[in-house]
C-alpha cells in the first residue's frame, strides 16, 4: 500500500535532473509499492532559446561535472551533434506537455516517458522539443500514438502554463534549490528530501528514502 508521495520538481532539459535519473528509477523499482511519484515540470527554458557558443560552453562544462558525479553517459550524437549544431533550440514546454499527456492517458507511463525524453536528448542527440520526436518517444514507451497526439494538444496552452506555474510555486514554498528538487510527502506534510549526496549511488539513495518511510508492519 502506498504510504507516501515523492514529488519530483524537474525539467526534462535539466542536466542535473538527468543525473538524478538513476536514483529515481531505483527508488521506484524498489519502493514503488510504498511510495507514489508525482512529476512537476518547472520550465527551465520557458521560451525557445537558441543555443549559442556561450550557452553551449556552459552546458558542456556542467555536463562534464554531471558525468563525473553521476556516471550518466552523454552520447556522441549529443556532444558532437546537438550541442555543436547552429540553430539548436532548447525549449522545455513541449517535453513537459508530453509528460503531462502521458499522465493523462496512463499515469504509469509518465515517468518512463520522461526517462525516454532525457535519454533521447543526452544520449541520442534527438531534438526533443519537436512534437513529432515526442510522439515517436511516446510510442516507444508503449503509448498509443493517436491518443498521445490528442492529449498532447490538450495539454498545451493554458493547462501547460498552469502546471509550470504550480510547479514553481511548490518549489518556492518548499525553499527548494532549483531543479531537481525532491519533496517527500507523508500524512499531508511535505519536506525537502536531500538527494545531492547520493549522485551515482542509487542503492544508498534507496536506503535513505526507505529509512524515511514508516516501518512496514
CB 96 within 8 A of CB 39: no
Distance (Å, whole) CA 94 – CA 70: 26
Residue 4, pLDDT > 60, answer: yes
Q: Is 79 exposed, middle or buried (0-12, 13-18, 19+ CB in 10 A)?
A: middle
Number of Cβ within a 10 Å radius of residue 204 = 14
Which three cell numbers mark 39?
Answer: 512529476
Give residue 177's pLDDT band: very low, low, confident or very high (50, 70, 90). confident
Residue 1, pLDDT > 70, answer: no
Angle at 33 between CA 29 and CA 15, to 5 degrees: 40
Structural domains of the chain, with CATH: 4-212 (3.40.30.10)
CB 23 within 8 A of CB 207: no
CB 98 within 8 A of CB 113: yes
Residue 145, pLDDT > 90, answer: yes
Percent of the chain topping pLDDT 90: 93
Average pLDDT over residues 141-145: 98
Average pLDDT over residues 109-128: 98
pLDDT of residue 217: 41
pLDDT of residue 169: 97
Its pTM stands at 0.96
Amino acid at each position: 500500500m502506498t504510504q507516501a508521495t515523492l514529488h519530483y520538481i524537474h525539467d526534462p532539459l535539466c542536466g542535473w535532473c538527468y543525473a538524478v535519473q538513476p536514483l529515481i528509477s531505483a527508488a521506484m523499482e524498489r519502493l514503488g509499492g510504498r511510495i507514489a511519484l508525482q512529476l512537476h515540470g518547472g520550465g527551465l527554458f520557458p521560451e525557445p532559446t537558441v543555443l549559442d557558443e556561450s550557452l553551449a560552453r556552459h552546458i558542456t562544462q556542467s555536463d562534464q561535472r554531471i558525468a563525473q558525479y553521476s556516471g550518466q553517459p552523454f552520447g556522441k550524437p549529443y556532444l558532437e551533434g546537438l550541442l555543436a549544431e547552429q540553430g539548436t533550440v532548447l525549449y522545455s514546454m513541449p517535453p513537459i506537455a508530453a509528460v503531462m499527456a502521458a499522465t493523462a492517458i496512463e499515469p504509469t507511463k509518465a515517468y518512463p516517458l520522461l526517462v525516454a525524453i532525457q535519454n533521447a536528448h543526452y544520449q541520442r542527440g534527438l531534438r526533443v522539443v519537436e512534437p513529432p520526436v515526442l510522439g515517436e518517444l511516446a510510442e516507444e514507451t508503449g503509448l498509443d500514438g493517436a491518443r498521445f497526439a490528442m492529449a498532447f494538444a490538450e495539454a498545451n496552452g493554458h493547462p501547460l502554463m498552469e502546471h509550470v506555474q504550480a510547479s514553481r510555486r511548490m518549489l518556492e514554498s518548499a525553499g527548494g534549490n532549483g531543479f531537481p528538487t525532491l519533496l517527500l510527502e507523508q500524512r499531508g506534510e511535505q519536506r525537502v528530501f536531500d538527494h545531492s549526496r547520493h549522485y551515482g549511488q542509487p542503492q544508498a539513495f534507496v536506503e535513505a528514502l526507505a529509512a524515511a518511510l514508516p516501518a512496514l508492519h
